[in-house]
Each structure stands twice: as C-alpha cells, then as structure tokens.
C-alpha cells in the first residue's frame, strides 16, 4: 500500500484528472508499469471506467484533461495525452494536444500505450480471457527459458504483465528476468 499512500499524498487525496475525492483507485500506467507511484496515477471511479474502456467517454467530464495535462507527474501527463488522443475528433481535445509538450521519454511512453491499444486484436490467455497491461497471470505448464538457463515452473505467478505488438505474446518477469511468454500458456489470475 506504499504506492497508494504516495499517490494520496501527491494528489492531495483527489483524482489526478478531475479532482473528485470519491471512490479513488490506483491505476498502473501501461505498458511497463512497475506498480510504483512514479508509474501509476490516482483516479476516481468515473475516470477509471473511461480510461479502461468500461464506460463510454463522457466528453464533458473529460474536459478536466485540459488541466490534468499540465500536471508535473509524467504518469499523469502520459494518461492525459492518451485520453486526449482518443478524443482528438473533438476540437478542444485536439487544441489541447497541439499545446501539450512532453519530454521525449514521456512522449515515447505515451505513444507505446496508444500503439498497444491500436493493435490488431486482443491478447487472450489459454481460457480465452482478454489480457490487459498490468494483469497478473499464472503459467499452466513448465516452460524452458532459452538463454536464461532456467525452467519457469507451472503455477508460477507473473505479476504486472505488459502486452506486446504481437497479440500472441506478453512480457513479464519470471525469477527476476524479463522474458516474452506465449499467451496460450498462461491463465489470468
């Protein structure tokens, strides 16, 4: 819970998009979040549902992005950029994107998430469940890891996965080593 405490302090216990103080949750920023405060944001339920695509984009509510995009935290800037990109058919959102300046490293991070979202199809586990960046998965069989001289054992938990450009593969850490895994050999935890 150290991440949540750091985010509460950083955000003054409010949503880092709309400043609501209701129903706040930590959201790791994909595609490579290590679940730290530097790679996560604090969002209210309404903003989180829109970020995750669980709720249709509420254009009026998301006008808060024109303020959030100026946040000093790179993770907030990244998510504001991605949401403004989704809303770029709206003139105000396109104007905000045109004004927004991101450091090269931050812009690369923001665009990685956009590219992942625009991939051909969803990444699915062995049971057909759709996998998302940041999900936890379990190996369903022993896998020999080439070049690392170890075998990832069945039942091993891989936390905070990252999706790749190929919907058949994910990236995750096993035994402290970041490796590419075939999604068909995984089960969503």
**pLDDT tens, residue by residue, 30-75:** 877 788 889 999 999 999 988 887 788 899 999 999 999 999 999 9
Percent of the chain with pLDDT over 90: 48
Spatial CB neighbours of 27, under 8 Å, sequence gap ≥ 6: 40, 41, 42, 43, 48, 51, 79
164 in the same domain as 97 = no
105 and 54 both lie in a single domain: yes
111 and 141, same domain (yes or no): no
Which residue range is the domain that position 172 belongs to? 123-188
DSSP tag of 20: -
Angstrom distance (rounded) from CA 107 to CA 133: 18
Strand order in the sheet with 157-158: 157-158, 137-139, 186-188
Tell me, yes or no, whether 101 and 147 share the same domain: no
Same domain, 139 and 109: no
Residues 20 and 76 in one domain: yes
**Count of domains in the chain?**
2
Residues 127 and 113 in one domain: no
Helix (H/G/I), strand (E/B), else coil: 155 = coil
Q: Give residue 138's pLDDT band: very low, low, confident or very high (50, 70, 90).
A: very high
């Amino acid at each position: 819970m150290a991440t949540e405490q750091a985010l509460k302090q950083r955000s003054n216990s409010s949503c880092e998009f709309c400043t609501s103080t209701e129903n706040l949750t930590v959201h790791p920023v994909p595609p490579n979040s290590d679940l730290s405060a530097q790679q996560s944001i604090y969002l209210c339920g309404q903003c989180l549902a829109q970020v995750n695509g669980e709720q249709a984009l509420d254009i009026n509510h998301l006008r808060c992005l024109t303020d959030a995009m100026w946040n000093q935290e790179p993770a907030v800037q990244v998510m504001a950029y991605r949401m403004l990109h989704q809303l770029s058919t709206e003139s105000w959102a396109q104007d905000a994107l045109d004004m927004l300046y991101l450091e090269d490293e931050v812009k690369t991070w923001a665009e990685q998430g956009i590219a992942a979202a625009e991939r051909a199809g969803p990444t699915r586990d062995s049971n057909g469940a759709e996998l998302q960046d940041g999900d936890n998965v379990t190996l369903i069989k022993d896998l020999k890891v080439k070049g690392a001289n170890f075998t990832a054992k069945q039942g091993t938990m891989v936390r905070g996965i990252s999706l790749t450009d190929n919907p058949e593969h994910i990236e995750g850490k096993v035994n402290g080593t970041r490796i590419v895994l075939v999604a068909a050999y995984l089960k969503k935890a």
